[in-house]
Structure 1
Amino acid sequence: MEVHNVTADAETFTCNAYLATGERTTLVDAGAWGPVVDAIRDHTDDLDAVVLTHQHGDHVQQLDRVLDAFDAELYAYAEHPRRDHALEDGDELLVGDETCEVIYTPGHADDHVSLVSGQSLFSGDVVVHDDGAFEGGSFGRTDRPGQSREREIESIKEILDRMPDGVEGMYSGHGGVFHGDVRSIVEKALERAERREPKYPDE
Structure 2
Amino acid sequence: MITNIASEATGMTSNAFLVAGPPGVRTPATDDDGDAGRRVLVDTGANFDAPAAVREHVDDLDAVVLTHTHPDHVGTLPALREAFDVATWGYDTSHDAVDREIPDGGTTRLGTGTFEALHTPGHKDDHLCLFDRDSGVLFAGDLVFANGAFGRTDLAEGDRDLLVDSVDRLREWVGDDVTAIHTGHGRSIVDGPAESLELSARAARMR
- Which residue, 106, 117, 125 being the options, matches 2:132? 117
Task: Give the letter for the 1:186 counterpart.
Answer: L
Contact 2:42 2:66 in 1 (8 A): yes
Distance between the aligned counterparts of 1:71 and 1:155, measured in 2?
33
More strand by share: 1
Alignment counterpart, residue 114 of structure 2, candidates 99, 107, 110: 99
RMSD (Å) for aligned C-alpha atoms? 1.3
Asked if 1:39 corresponds to 2:35, the answer is no
CA deviation after TM superposition for structure 1 residue 144, in Å: 2.6
Q: TM-score, normalised by structure 1?
A: 0.89
Query: In 2, are the aligned partners of 1:25 and 1:96 still within 8 Å (CA)?
Result: yes
SS in 2 for 1:171: strand
How many residue pairs get matched?
189
The residue type equivalent to 1:29 in the other structure is D
Report the Cα distance in structure 1 between the residues aligned to 2:194 and 2:43, rounded to whole angstroms: 23
CA distance in 1, matches of 2:56, 2:43: 17
Write the distance in 2 (CA, Å) between the matches of 1:169 and 1:98: 14
Separation in structure 1 between the aligned mates of residue 98 and residue 143 of structure 2, nearest angstrom: 22
Tell me the residue number matched to 1:27.
41
Which residue is 2:98 aligned to? 83
Query: How far apart in 1 are the matches of 2:155 and 2:79?
Result: 28
- CA deviations on 1:35-75 (whole Å, 9 max, x unpaired) are 11111100000211100111101001111111111132210
Distance in 1 (CA, whole Å) between partners of 2:96 and 2:153 is: 27
SS at match of 1:193: helix
Assess if the C-alpha contact under 8 Å between 1:114 and 1:122 holds in 2. Answer: yes
The answer as to whether partners of 1:166 and 1:181 remain within 8 angstroms in 2 is: no
Instruction: Name 2:3's counterpart in structure 1.
Output: 4
More divergent stretch after superposition (176-185 vs 17-26): 176-185
Aligned-residue identity in percent: 37
Counterpart of 1:93 in structure 2: which amino acid? T
Query: Please, which runs of 5 or more residues in structure 2 have no aligned partner?
Result: 22-36
Alpha carbons of 1:38 and 1:126: their partners in 2 closer, same or farther (altered >3 Å)? same
- Is the 8 Å Cα contact of residues 170 and 179 (structure 1) preserved in structure 2? yes
Q: For 1:47 and 1:7, how far apart are their aligned partners in 2?
A: 16
- Please give the alpha-carbon distance, in whole angstroms, between the structure 1 residues aligned to 2:4 and 2:165: 28
Note the C-alpha offset of 1:164. 4.6
**Partner Cα separation in structure 1 for residue 40 and residue 116 of structure 2:** 15
> Given the two structures, how large is their TM-score scaled by the length of structure 2?
0.87
Provide the C-alpha distance between the structure 2 equivalents of 1:164 and 1:100, rounded to a whole number of angstroms. 15
Aligned pairs for 1:127-138 (under 5 A) are 127-129=144-146, 136-138=147-149
SS at match of 1:185: helix
Kindly state the Cα deviation for residue 9 of structure 1 after the two structures are TM-superposed.
Answer: 0.5
Q: 5+ unaligned residues in a row in structure 1: which ranges?
A: 130-135, 198-203
Q: Is the 8 A contact 1:103 1:115 kept in 2?
A: yes
SS in structure 2 at match of 1:190: helix
Q: What's 1:140 paired with?
A: 151
The amino acid of 1:32's aligned partner reads A
